């Protein structure tokens, strides 16, 4: 008969917890040398004989006090799910800090196994740990492990089975907080004994300790108002007796207990001196040179992502073009079929337009993974904190902002590493102002259409810099108004520099690429089908006349551009393309474009741009394809010279710049809105983000267009 054993893997950030989890289960999970990489618990499994191990990788956390989302997820799982055994992964070179979490796990009373991880690094530092004595004092098996080399995996599996099935090597130990504190713990245990929050009597001591530490999360969960009132009085009395710092008193007792455990167990056979890691930090975290070094590294990151990515993008684009032609070939030439249009224009055109950017995304995240894995990323956060704090953002906010250059969705998810909710929501709301990879096709279409080559680079730099500046300014305004309050101090552990393994980098690339592909195959696929329907139906009657402003005098493609600031007059269309554009104008999407045209006119936009903007809500990349359909050209990608000629014929460079500005600021895509709702826990913030940015984009773009028009008149 098969038996299932639940194992919870818990530990501090940077202790190698997720690597141990991967070794136990073979699961492919994100591994990084940056605090807060794992922000949700992840499940894997392994079968050993007739035993099925269900292994849960909990978020990395320093304690179970629920100051952050990671701590809350880990604590609630341990307390409510009651795993059969907890695998506590500790850094062998930093036992005193890591064992603080261990003492809290001991209080929970769950069977424990200790993985003394990164033992090789401790041995290099000539740190000797008496594992048998440590095991005896903690009351749990202590196993030597080196996660990135797989050492100790077999021994850990054996220990987990022994403890979970037979309790071998484990006995329940707990911290002795001393007479006065223990008396208060006993008092609270008696008060909460009848409350509905306490399902298991064994949890009363744990809950009493957390209440004494003024853990508001558990105080608010008490079901009885009478019990809550009595507990509040007891907690306040204890707080008064400890000068208002009960959590500090409890922490001191824990560290005193840890000192007693480690006395005679850990020996440093070499005096601690400055390491090569310290010497590197002197340079990369220098008050003067830190920022230029960071800027140079970011330049190299983006150069890698986009220089190497473009040839791969061309290959993917060509493959989707070939696939579209092959599928279209199943129908007779000239025959119209809704199914053909759906497959070629809707599915392949929509999804292919997103997947083409996969090389950029993968290379960008590979570079970020290298920076994470080596330990530099957390240093960059420290360097940036000096500047970020001046605009009301936390130093850790730098990481989501950086990820935002790739895609806003994972960037918003990365805000979970911020402990303070004000910091999280503030960062979340301004993240869409960072130019994500999905905006690149818009920039690649518009900038060459209106600006000479020598100005194309500076214009692109201005757009990117404008987004960064507006994000920082927006954060500052939010912290001065909606989210008033002190910025949370930047406290983060500096892990030693390490060489990331090729396996971990490949796993990260695969995980993130898969998430991107899953988005393309679900959200973008659905949006593409919806947009195909909106742009294809209803069909116009045979006597339908296009809008009066559809056509302009047709000139040769080689015609010269008009005076500066004026449309060039270049146009070239075919009857088929003109018919396609006429059908779009009659469709639901075209009608929406005409409906919102009065609102767009102050920015210099017409119904064509409005129609494309409607499609861009599904995904920013859709804007380019929509513009190609609106202007009735055969090519519909950002490299289309025919489409650029159409744009030059109807719009001025000022309008082109306004398109860039509006696309930068307005209407976050629907995936961004959805993940903001998910991460903030409220539609209020998601809708505030959508409408706030859209209205701000309209105001700023209108001002730029109106002032520009007068200056150029």
Answer whether residue 457 shows pLDDT above 60.
yes
Which of 129, 144, 166 delimits the end of a domain? 166
Domain count, the chain: 4
- Is residue 459 domain-shared with residue 347, that is, in the same domain? yes
Answer whether residue 9 shows pLDDT above 90.
yes
Which has more pLDDT, 321 or 567?
321
Provide the percentage of residues in the chain whose pLDDT is more than 70. Answer: 81
pLDDT at position 155 is 93
Mean pLDDT value of segment 186-200: 79
Residue pLDDT, tens place only, 56-104 = 888 888 888 766 666 777 888 888 888 999 999 999 988 988 999 999 8
- Is residue 313 domain-shared with residue 348, that is, in the same domain? yes
Task: Give me the DSSP letters along 374-409.
Answer: HTHHHHHHHHHHHHHGGGT--GGGHHHHHHTTT-HH
The mean pLDDT value of the chain amounts to: 79
- Is residue 161 domain-shared with residue 185, that is, in the same domain? no
In a domain, 219, yes or no: yes
In a domain, 509, yes or no: no
655 pLDDT band, cuts 50/70/90, is very high
In a domain, 631, yes or no: yes
- Domain span including residue 143: 3-166
Which of 105, 135, 166 delimits the end of a domain? 166
Provide the percentage of residues in the chain whose pLDDT is more than 90. Answer: 16
List, in sequence order, the alpha helices (H) in 555-682. 575-586, 588-600, 607-616, 622-630, 641-650, 653-665, 670-680
What's the rounded Cα separation, in Å, for the pair 141 and 163? 8
pLDDT at position 638 is 47
Which has more pLDDT, 356 or 651?
651
Task: Give me the DSSP letters along 64-96.
Answer: SS-SSHHHHHHHHIIIII--SEEEEEEETT-HH
Lowest mean pLDDT among 139-143, 165-169, 659-663: 165-169
- Is residue 261 domain-shared with residue 294, that is, in the same domain? no
Q: At what angle do helices 440-450 and 641-650 cross, to 10 degrees?
A: 60
The structure tokens 């404008």 sit at 466
- Is residue 546 domain-shared with residue 672, that is, in the same domain? yes
Answer whether residue 145 shows pLDDT above 90.
yes
Mean pLDDT value of segment 186-215: 80
In a domain, 234, yes or no: yes
Answer whether residue 632 shows pLDDT above 70.
no
In a domain, 488, yes or no: no
- How many CB atoms sit inside 10 A of residue 511's CB? 16
- Is residue 138 domain-shared with residue 222, that is, in the same domain? no
The structure tokens 């008060």 sit at 191
687 pLDDT band, cuts 50/70/90, is very high
- Is residue 377 domain-shared with residue 434, that is, in the same domain? yes
Answer whether residue 277 shows pLDDT above 80.
no
Residue pLDDT, tens place only, 556-566 = 333 334 444 45
- Is residue 252 domain-shared with residue 294, that is, in the same domain? no
Which has more pLDDT, 571 or 304?
304
Mean pLDDT value of segment 143-156: 90
pLDDT at position 701 is 95
In a domain, 489, yes or no: no
Looking up residue 146, the CATH number of its domain turns out to be 3.40.50.300
Q: Residues 6 or more apart from 581 whose CB is under 8 A from it? A: 546, 550, 573, 629, 630, 631, 632
640 pLDDT band, cuts 50/70/90, is low
Residue pLDDT, tens place only, 500-554 = 777 677 777 777 677 667 766 776 677 667 777 887 788 888 766 655 544 443 3
pLDDT at position 551 is 46
Answer whether residue 222 shows pLDDT above 70.
yes
Stretch (H or E) spanning 448: helix 440-450
Which has more pLDDT, 217 or 419?
217
- Is residue 239 domain-shared with residue 370, that is, in the same domain? no
- Is residue 573 domain-shared with residue 677, that is, in the same domain? yes
468 pLDDT band, cuts 50/70/90, is confident
- Is residue 403 domain-shared with residue 357, that is, in the same domain? yes
In a domain, 320, yes or no: yes
Looking up residue 249, the CATH number of its domain turns out to be 1.10.287.1770
Which of 115, 144, 166 delimits the end of a domain? 166
Residue pLDDT, tens place only, 697-709 = 999 999 999 999 9
**H and E: helices and strands count for the chain:** 33, 8
Answer whether residue 171 shows pLDDT above 50.
yes
DSSP state of 146: B
User: What's the token pair of residue 420?
Assistant: 């303070």
In a domain, 306, yes or no: yes
Answer whether residue 286 shows pLDDT above 60.
yes
Answer whether residue 627 shows pLDDT above 90.
no
219 pLDDT band, cuts 50/70/90, is confident
User: What SS3 state is found at 54?
Assistant: strand
- Is residue 152 domain-shared with residue 196, that is, in the same domain? no
Lowest mean pLDDT among 213-222, 402-411, 542-551, 591-600: 542-551
Which has more pLDDT, 239 or 336?
239
């Amino acid at each position: 008969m098969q038996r299932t054993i639940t194992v919870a893997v818990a530990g501090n950030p940077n202790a190698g917890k997720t690597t141990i989890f991967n070794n136990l289960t073979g699961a492919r999970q994100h591994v990084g040398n940056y605090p807060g990489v794992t922000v949700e618990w992840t499940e894997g499994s392994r079968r050993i004989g007739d035993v099925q191990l269900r292994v849960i990788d909990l978020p990395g956390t320093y304690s179970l006090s629920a100051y952050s989302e990671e701590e809350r997820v880990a604590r609630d799982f341990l307390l409510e799910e009651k795993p059969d055994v907890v695998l506590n992964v500790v850094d062998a070179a930093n036992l005193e800090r890591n064992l603080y979490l261990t003492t809290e796990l001991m209080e929970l009373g769950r069977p424990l196994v200790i993985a003394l991880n990164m033992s090789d690094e401790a041995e290099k530092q000539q740190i000797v740990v008496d594992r048998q004595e440590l095991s005896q004092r903690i009351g749990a098996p202590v196993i030597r492990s080196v996660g990135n080399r797989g050492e100790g995996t077999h021994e850990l599996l054996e220990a987990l089975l022994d403890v979970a099935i037979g309790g071998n090597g484990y006995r329940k130990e707990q911290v002795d907080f001393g007479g006065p504190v223990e008396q208060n713990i006993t008092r609270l245990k008696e008060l909460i004994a009848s409350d509905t929050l306490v399902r298991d009597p064994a949890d009363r001591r744990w809950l009493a300790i957390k209440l004494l530490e003024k853990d508001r999360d558990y105080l608010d969960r008490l079901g009885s108002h009478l019990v809550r009132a009595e507990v509040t009085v007891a907690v306040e009395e204890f707080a008064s007796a400890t000068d208002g710092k009960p959590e500090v008193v409890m922490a001191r007792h824990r560290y005193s207990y840890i000192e007693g455990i480690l006395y005679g167990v850990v020996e440093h056979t070499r005096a601690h001196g400055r390491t090569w890691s310290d010497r590197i930090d002197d340079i990369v975290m220098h008050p003067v040179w830190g920022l230029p070094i960071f800027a140079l590294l970011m330049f190299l990151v983006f150069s890698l992502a986009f220089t190497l990515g473009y040839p791969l993008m061309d290959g993917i684009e060509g493959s989707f073009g070939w696939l579209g032609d092959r599928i279209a070939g199943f129908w007779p030439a000239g025959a119209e079929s809704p199914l053909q249009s759906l497959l070629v224009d809707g599915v392949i055109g929509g999804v292919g337009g997103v997947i083409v950017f996969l090389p950029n995304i993968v290379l960008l995240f590979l570079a970020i993974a290298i920076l994470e894995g080596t330990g530099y990323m957390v240093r960059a956060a420290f360097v940036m904190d000096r500047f970020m704090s001046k605009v009301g953002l936390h130093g850790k906010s730098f990481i989501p902002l950086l990820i935002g250059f790739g895609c806003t969705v994972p960037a918003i998810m990365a805000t979970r590493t911020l402990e303070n909710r004000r910091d999280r929501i503030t960062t979340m709301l301004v993240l869409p102002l960072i130019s994500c990879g999905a905006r690149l096709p818009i920039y690649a279409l518009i900038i060459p259409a209106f600006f000479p080559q020598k100005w194309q680079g500076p214009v692109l730099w201005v757009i990117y810099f404008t987004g960064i500046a507006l994000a920082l300014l927006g954060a500052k305004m939010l912290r001065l108004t909606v989210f008033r309050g002190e910025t949370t101090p930047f406290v983060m552990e500096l892990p030693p520099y390490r060489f990331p393994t090729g396996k971990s980098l490949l796993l990260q690339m695969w995980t993130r690429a898969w998430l991107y592909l899953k988005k393309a195959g679900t959200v973008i696929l659905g949006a593409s089908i919806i947009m195909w329907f909106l742009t294809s139906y209803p069909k116009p009657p045979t006597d339908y006349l296009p809008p009066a402003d559809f056509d302009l005098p047709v000139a040769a493609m080689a015609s010269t551009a008009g005076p500066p600031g004026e449309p060039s007059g270049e146009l070239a269309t075919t009857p088929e393309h003109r018919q396609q554009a006429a059908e779009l104008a009659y469709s639901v999407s075209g009608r929406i474009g005409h409906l919102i045209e009065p609102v767009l006119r102050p920015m210099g936009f017409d119904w064509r741009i409005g129609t494309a903007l409607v499609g861009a809500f599904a995904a920013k990349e859709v804007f380019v394809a929509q513009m190609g359909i609106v202007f009735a050209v055969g090519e519909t990608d950002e490299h289309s010279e025919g489409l650029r000629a159409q744009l030059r014929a109807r719009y001025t460079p000022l309008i082109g710049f306004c398109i860039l500005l509006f696309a930068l600021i307005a209407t976050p895509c629907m995936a961004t809105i959805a993940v903001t709702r998910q991460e903030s826990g409220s539609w209020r913030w998601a809708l505030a983000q959508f409408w706030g940015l859209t209205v701000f984009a309209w105001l700023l773009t209108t001002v730029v267009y109106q002032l520009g028009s007068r200056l150029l008149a």
